[in-house]
């Protein structure tokens, strides 16, 4: 069996929902996708918000859904790589655009692992309680 036919069979297995083929695709192409995202992700404010794994998972999820729906006509490994790289770039651009369109001040957002502002108890009494406690 030729390499082209083997690749087409691989893509057909992915379209059919074969979990082993999907796992093989992830193990083969996830490092490539993540490397491309890291190369493009040069804004420190965006790096604080999401990392290459976030975007990579979005790329792979879209790829599997759209491939199963028959939206992609992929005939070679080179076409698959080009598609995944373009998807990664587009997902990264979309995520950055969402952040900037909402005009978020990323310096004020909690960092990963920091407690959320809502989880910090207020040590001061409410004005109503202060008035009630006055004598």
How far is the C-alpha of 65 from the C-alpha of 53, rounded, in Å?
18
Tens digit of each residue's pLDDT (9 = 90 or more) over 40-93:
877 776 767 777 888 899 999 999 999 988 898 898 999 999 999 999 999 988
Query: Cα angle vertex 69, ends 65, 72, to 5°?
Result: 90
Q: What is the pTM of this model?
A: 0.68
106, 99 in Cβ contact below 8 A? Answer: yes
How far is the C-alpha of 119 from the C-alpha of 116, rounded, in Å?
5
Tens digit of each residue's pLDDT (9 = 90 or more) over 92-123:
888 888 877 766 555 555 555 555 555 555 66
């Amino acid at each position: 069996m030729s390499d082209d036919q083997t690749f087409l069979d691989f893509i057909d297995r992915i379209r059919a929902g074969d979990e082993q083929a999907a796992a093989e695709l992830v193990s083969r192409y996830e490092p490539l996708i993540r490397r491309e995202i890291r190369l493009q992700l040069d804004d420190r404010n965006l790096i604080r918000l999401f990392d290459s794994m976030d975007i990579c998972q979005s790329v792979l999820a879209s790829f599997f859904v759209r491939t199963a729906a028959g939206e992609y006509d992929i005939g070679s490994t080179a076409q698959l790589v080009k598609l995944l790289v373009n998807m990664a770039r587009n997902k990264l651009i979309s995520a950055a655009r969402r952040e900037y369109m909402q005009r978020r001040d990323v310096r004020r957002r909690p960092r990963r692992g920091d407690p959320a502002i809502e989880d910090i108890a207020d040590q001061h009494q409410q004005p109503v309680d202060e008035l009630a406690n006055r004598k």
